[in-house]
Amino acid sequence: MLLPVDSEHYLEVSAEVMGALREQPGATVQVLGWDEAFVGIATGDPEAYARALQAAVMARTRLNCSVGIGDTLVRAKVATGFGKPRGVFRLTADNWLEVMGDRRTADLWGIGAKVSKRLAGLGISTVAQLAATDPAELVGEFGPRMGPWYAELGRGEGSRVIDDTPWVARGHSRETTFQRDLVEPAEIEEALRVLVAHVLEDVATEGRPVVGLTLKVRYAPFLTKMFTRKIPVTADPTEVLARALDLATRIEPDRPVRLLGFRAEMTMPEGTPATSTPPPEAGGDGPP
């Protein structure tokens, strides 16, 4: 069964949760998504502080939450998984390998199935093996930036700084999974027109022009293709629609379409910090 996502309600509740976190004494809050955030705090009793956070969220929203405690962002994020449901767990340099050493590299935040498979091809299957690997040995497979970064993940190391810079959306997107596969070009075009209209409504609230488009197509039963295109800067909805329809000519004819998605990338406001943190999509194959 497929259920619709009530994004407006999620956003409302998320704002309440983040508000409860920001009200805690001394807290610096870095929002990671609808239901995730890093909280930076200096305290001698992190477990007690974590329980206070849980109580604050419960009092304000009637929702339970899990808290991961760590001396790096990576360790705190991974620790959250051990705290579920409704618990508190601490991961630091002292117990990182004891807890994580025998686990698969895919269990690390930021390493997905594809990267884990490539690591296995190098004889690296566990977190402990990755932690013991010379970063230089990963450069040939992953490049000078990502290779050392994956080795750092294996050791649970990384940033210790909580950045509360407000996140600025780089784009807006919508997608629809159809109850019945679309096969006729006319109905595919009509569905895309509806998606584009919804996305442009979201873009209009930002007051920034569009500079790029992405069309997501999932053919039945489950083959997904992404088509992207940079476009001249424009705030004209008619121009965006025309370019979206042109991008749709890359959809293969006579293939049933199960899902359509559309994303519009916007110009960024002048002075936007490069470190502003997007909603996660962590657990993928790149840095969070």
- Catalytic residue positions, numbered: 36
The encoded tokens of residue 247 equal: 């991008």
Contact status, residue 265 vs residue 211, Cβ threshold 8 Å: yes
Q: Which residue has the tokens 């579920």?
A: 84
Per-residue burial over 252-280, b if 16 or more Cβ lie within 10 Å, else e, is eeeeebbbbbbbbbbeeeeeeeeeebeeb
CB 280 within 8 A of CB 77: no
In degrees to the nearest 10, what's the CA dihedral of 284, 40, 99, 48?
Answer: -140
Q: Provide the 8-state DSSP code for 189.
A: H
DSSP state of 198: H
C-alpha to C-alpha distance for 138 and 144, rounded to whole angstroms:
8
Cβ neighbours of residue 29 closer than 8 Å, sequence gap 6 or more: 18, 21, 22, 37, 38, 39, 40, 162, 164
Total count of residues recorded for the chain: 288
Strands annotated E in the chain: 28-33, 36-40, 67-70, 88-91, 171-182, 210-219, 223-234, 257-266
For residues 111 and 129, the answer to whether their CB atoms sit within 8 Å is: no
